[in-house]
Amino acid sequence: MSTKLMTPLCALWQELTQSPNPSVIARARATPDILEHVEACPHCDELNPDNPEGVAAAYEVFAGKDGQAVAEDEDAFRLDASVARDVKSAVRELLLPQLPTRLAMQATWGELELYRGLDAIAMLAERESRDRVPRRVTLSSQQGLLAGDQCLARTELIKEIRVMTGADDANAASLFDWLVEAARSFPALFPGAIAAPSGAADVLLHVQPRLELEVDLSAQWSPARESGVMDVSGVREPSSRPRASAGRSARNP
Amino acid sequence: MGESSAHFVCDIAKLQAYRHTLKKSSANRTAQANHSHHASVYSPLRILGTATGKVNVVSPVAPKIAWSIASAAEYQKLRSLFFSALAGLARRGYAIAPDEGLDLIHDFFVEAWPSMVERHDPRQARLSTYAYGAFIQFARARIVRLRRWGKQLDLPAPPETESDTETKLDVTRLRRAFDSLDQGDRDLLDARFAQGQSERELAKALGLTRYRVRERLVEALAGLVSRLQDKALAESSDWAIAVAIWRDGRSIADIAAAMKLTESQVRARKRRILEALTRVAPPSAEHARRDECLRNS
């Protein structure tokens, strides 16, 4: 940014985007005109923080006192949690748009059906990996679930999907094949596991013990987890907030 | 801020400027005056209100929308709530840059607010709380798509070393496929990649949201690579990569694994393809005509 055009507000915004430490944030919060300035200034408009914490700090500055009140609003917490609990919208709005187009178009099952199917596979992977160190299993369209010398046959996996989703054999089988292919493109597909392509068509699942049985799909499928790394720090809501839930509650009506 | 007995025009920019005059020192006022007037693509929404409190909204991308908001102060409060929502989303892995966040809030008011107000049941929750939840749902879905399209459209940095031996691209064939696109798609790709107009500039020229511009760019690229394949022009692996990125929507990591390349190699080829698009642009005399077409389309 040209020094000639830099005003105190420009300098403050630049500091906030580049090094959002507590003193800079406090100064920005004490500057109520900063939002209007950023909207109007052609230079500041193009300066953006390059990390999530900086982005969050910028928005909190923009929110001002009215926005801070949201933190105390129980109604807002409830609605926030209900959005997180919404399995259908998570599948439709978060999962499918992040998959390759062809796979997303092939997903002709209902959102709940799709989620119950993938949760069924996730739970089986967790069970079969329990005695293994490290906890790795291979998911194969042809063979099923391979854990060392043990093998849970493809038919068993399809049967589990059929039970959990209520689908017929053909739909359960096609859903299973679809899940294996989707996991090759989307490491965070299965709750409690990180997927990686293995060979021409299989998937290696690194299973991690779930901290909770209930899954926040908003966090599970967030774009920040595209590498599949299990990063729970910064994802948890403060303990006073209601817990989001999915998976079990979706499965058990 | 003018006011008549029947209507008041509450231009938020004027309201904010009024606040500025109450607080600013003369030195700051001078500094402010030195800024050339700049309105972002989404200039502050103009609110036309009546004394009874009903407001109409005028936006750069939607001529007129009727809202039910009591006042400009209520609008400001809602915006604050939505900024707070964006802060929370950023911490949960749905970070979006502030300039795009401002656009997102604008788009919510223009596209989602009217139907949201219709659905709102005051017995269930306050309007502001309901709006907060609706905005989170709106924003989250949009952020996922924006990030995906952003990756499809970004120009990778030049590779430090050219380790890939395949350097020849058939620009003639690319031009043939390009010319077979619809006029609107050609103009859009030309403006973005040959002329180097930013998404924001395109949004302003076309009267679209930046979200919609990005969506159209990805669709246009998908159409282009589909034509390359249909016409059996995709002989090199470069075009296979183009198809994978823009038609199939696959990630760089996914493509690298499938084609047994490194991610750097895939990015380098993506860059080469996007640069090739700049070479299929028409002669410079055509640019002015196409600019005119863009403005009039």
Q: Which of residues 227-286 of B touch A (CB under 8 A)?
A: 247-251, 254, 257
What is the Cα–Cα distance from A119 to B3, expressed in whole angstroms? 60
What is the Cα–Cα distance from A152 to A124, expressed in whole angstroms? 9
Residues of B in contact with A38 (CB under 8 A): 98
Residue B33's pLDDT is what?
A: 35
Let me know: does A137 contact A146? Beta carbons within 8 Å: yes
A233 to each of A41, A60, A109, B227, how far by Cα in Å?
35, 19, 33, 45
Residues of B in contact with A198 (CB under 8 A): none
Q: Is the ipTM of this complex over 0.85?
A: no
Q: Is B212 an 8 Å CB contact of chain A?
A: no
Q: Is A124 exposed, middle or buried (0-12, 13-18, 19+ CB in 10 A)?
A: buried
Polymer length of chain A: 253
**pTM strictly above 0.80:** no
Residues of B in contact with A76 (CB under 8 A): 81, 129, 132-133
Residue A182's pLDDT is what?
A: 95
Residues of A in contact with B77 (CB under 8 A): 66
Check B98 against A52: CB less than 8 A apart: no
Q: At what angle do helices A8-18 and A52-68 cross, to 10 degrees?
A: 120
Residue B10's pLDDT is what?
A: 37
Check A224 against B94: CB less than 8 A apart: yes
Residues of A in contact with B147 (CB under 8 A): 223
Residue B293's pLDDT is what?
A: 55
Residue A190's pLDDT is what?
A: 95
Would you call A66 helix, strand, or coil by DSSP? Answer: helix
Mutate to test the interface with B, among A59, A75, A99, A217 (most CBs of B within 10 A): A59
Could you report the per-residue pLDDT of A52-109, keeping only the tens digit for each? Answer: 888 998 998 988 876 666 555 656 556 666 665 688 989 999 999 999 988 999 999 9
Check B81 against A70: CB less than 8 A apart: yes
A4 to each of A10, B31, B35, B65, how far by Cα in Å?
11, 10, 11, 41
Share of chain A above pLDDT 90, in %: 40
- Whether the bond between A134 and the residue before it is cis, its omega within 30 degrees of 0, is yes
The backbone torsions φ and ψ at residue B233, rounded to the nearest 5 degrees and listed phi first, read -95, -10
Which one of A42, A60, A70 has the shortest CB-CB distance to B132? A70
Per-residue pLDDT of chain A (253 residues), as tens digits, is 444 467 889 999 988 888 888 899 899 988 888 888 888 887 787 778 878 888 998 998 988 876 666 555 656 556 666 665 688 989 999 999 999 988 999 999 999 999 999 999 999 999 999 888 889 999 999 999 998 888 899 999 999 999 999 999 999 999 999 999 999 999 999 999 999 999 889 999 999 877 666 788 888 898 887 655 544 333 333 333 333 344 443 333 3
Which one of A40, A48, A104 has the shortest CB-CB distance to B98? A48
Residue A70's pLDDT is what?
A: 59
B168 Cβ contact partners less than 8 Å away, ≥ 6 residues apart: none
* Closest CA of chain B from A131, distance in Å: 30
Mutate to test the interface with A, among B19, B20, B26, B84 (most CBs of A within 10 A): B84
Check B87 against A57: CB less than 8 A apart: yes
Check B95 against A46: CB less than 8 A apart: no
Residues of B in contact with A104 (CB under 8 A): 249
Check B85 against A48: CB less than 8 A apart: no
Closest by CA to B120, choosing from B133, B106, B103, B138, is B133
Number of neighbouring beta carbons within 10 Å of residue A179: 23
Which one of A39, A51, A66 has the shortest CB-CB distance to B40? A39
Residues of B in contact with A5 (CB under 8 A): 34-35
Residue segments in chain B with a per-residue pLDDT below the cut of 50: 1-44, 47-53, 64, 66, 165-167, 231, 233-234, 284-285
Residue B28's pLDDT is what?
A: 43
Which one of B24, B32, B140 has the shortest CB-CB distance to A94? B140
Report helix, strand and coil shares of chain A as percent, to nearest 5. Answer: 55, 10, 35
* Closest CA of chain A from B245, distance in Å: 9
Residue A66's pLDDT is what?
A: 64
β-bridge mates for residue A150, sequence order? A147
Chain B: residue nearest A16 by CA?
A: B98
B162-184: string of b/e by CB count within 10 Å (b at 16+)?
Answer: eebeeeebeeebbbebbeebeee
Which one of B81, B98, B249 has the shortest CB-CB distance to A100? B249
What is the Cα–Cα distance from B95 to B111, expressed in whole angstroms? 21
B284 Cβ contact partners less than 8 Å away, ≥ 6 residues apart: none
